[in-house]
Amino acid sequence: MITNLRLQHFRSYDDASFEFGDGVNIIVGPNASGKTNLLEAVLVIARGSSYRVSDMELVRFDAPWSRLDADTLTGQRTVKLQPGSAEKWLKSFEIDGQLLSRLTASRLLPVVLFEPNHLSLLHGSPDLRRAFLDDLLEQTNPRFGALRRHYRRVLYQRNTLLKKQPRDIHDQLFVWNVRLSELGGQIASSRQQLIARFSEHMSSLYEELSHQSNHVTLEYTSRFSADNYESQLLHKLETGVEQDMLRGFTAYGPHRDDMGVYIDGHAASDAASRGETRTLVLTLKLLELQLLEELRGEQPLLLLDDVFSELDGKRRQALTAHVRDYQTFITTTDADIVVHHFAEAANIILLA
């Protein structure tokens, strides 16, 4: 939990300080008042980086440096940005007096973020859904980050060979095929287990949020079955070399798999309305919140940017009931929503 935060030369802020409650914190203000920038500062202090821009863009225009200082239940945290060499900005951290050049996994505060671009999770590229699964697995499985990086390196090596096509390409590819299938099988298995876990609660939670009796399911979409993914992938890599050489890249593996979201048996990307899409994505985010709390043993911060748009009154009420037990940061331009839902139970932060 973050109790207070000071922003110096950060984005649109010159020097501002805020105090936060341990429950729901509502950041209210018109467009361009700095609501999302404040939400972004909370994320940077917790995880060390922005979800929107590079480190350089976090520094207020024409400012010589940028700094965030926060008090949390576990101590003090500081993030500094200052000029380095070759027009690069150096980022450093200080946690309880200890200087750090980067935040290791144990130093990160667990965070779940919802922002409007996440609505493309259902309708957008499969890359977005793969990233959603893999980013969450990195936060909940200590070994998954290394597995993910290793897979990318092996995939890069195989694709490089496919493009260069040396004389002994088949002999060289065999080693990478074996390793890629081994790593790919582990990644696919981890994703499938996560999806199965989410699927157990997806329908009931969606029904609570939407007040509609829809059956929602998640499926891992791949050319290969779960029980022998590794051997099937290896066979395809071996027999599909000529086609991959023509393409110049590896066409099969977990980097090409997907997650399907279905509502009453129909693909949500085709059947869901805008309100249903928002509710489905919020359902995934709340499941992410619950999983992080269970596996990390601490309550995550919940950041909700412009979450109430396109939600009717019942869905707003259902959502607020789920977030009251977490330190939650919500941005909105609609003061009436705050008065109606949170007048007595929230810390209100008004921005001009």
Closest CA to 25 of 323, 340, 266: 323
**Whole-number Å distance between alpha carbons of 268 and 313:** 22
- Give the C-alpha distances (Å, rounded to integers) separating 117 from 26, 88, 268, 285: 20, 28, 17, 13
The reported pTM is 0.90
Contact between 113 and 306 (Cβ < 8 Å)? no
pLDDT at 342: 64
pLDDT of amino acid 339:
67
Between 31 and 336, name the one with better pLDDT.
31
Q: Could you report the per-residue pLDDT of 58-99, keeping only the tens digit for each?
A: 999 989 999 999 999 889 999 999 988 767 789 999 998 899
pLDDT for 206-216, tens place per residue?
999 998 889 99
pLDDT value of residue 285? 95
CB-based contact 301:24 (threshold 8 Å)? no
Contact partners, residue 240, CB within 8 Å, separation at least 6: 251, 252
Residue 343 confidence (pLDDT)? 61
What is the 3-state composition of the chain as percent helix, strand, coil, each rounded to the nearest 5? 50, 25, 30
Token pair of 334 as six digits:
């609609």
How many Å apart are CA 61 and CA 180, to the nearest integer?
A: 45
Is the per-residue pLDDT at 338 higher than 80? no
Least confident of 115-124, 175-184, 292-301, 341-350: 341-350
Taking each continuous run of H as one helix and of E as one strand, the counts in the chain are 12, 14
For residue 176, how many other CB atoms are within 10 A of its CB? Answer: 20
Q: How many CA atoms lie within 13 A of 62 on its CB side?
A: 0
Whole-angstrom distance, CA of residue 111 vs CA of residue 103: 14
Contact of 65 with 80, CB cutoff 8 Å? yes
The pLDDT confidence band at residue 226, using thresholds 50, 70 and 90, is: confident
Taken in order 229, 234, 237, 240, the sign of the CA dihedral is negative
More confident residue, 129 or 338: 129
Q: What distance lies between CA 234 and its chain's CA centroid?
A: 30
How many CA atoms, within 13 angstroms, populate the side-chain half-sphere of residue 67? 10
- pLDDT of residue 244 exceeding 80, the answer is yes
Domains and CATH numbers, the chain: 1-110+300-352 (3.40.50.300), 122-297 (1.20.1050.90)
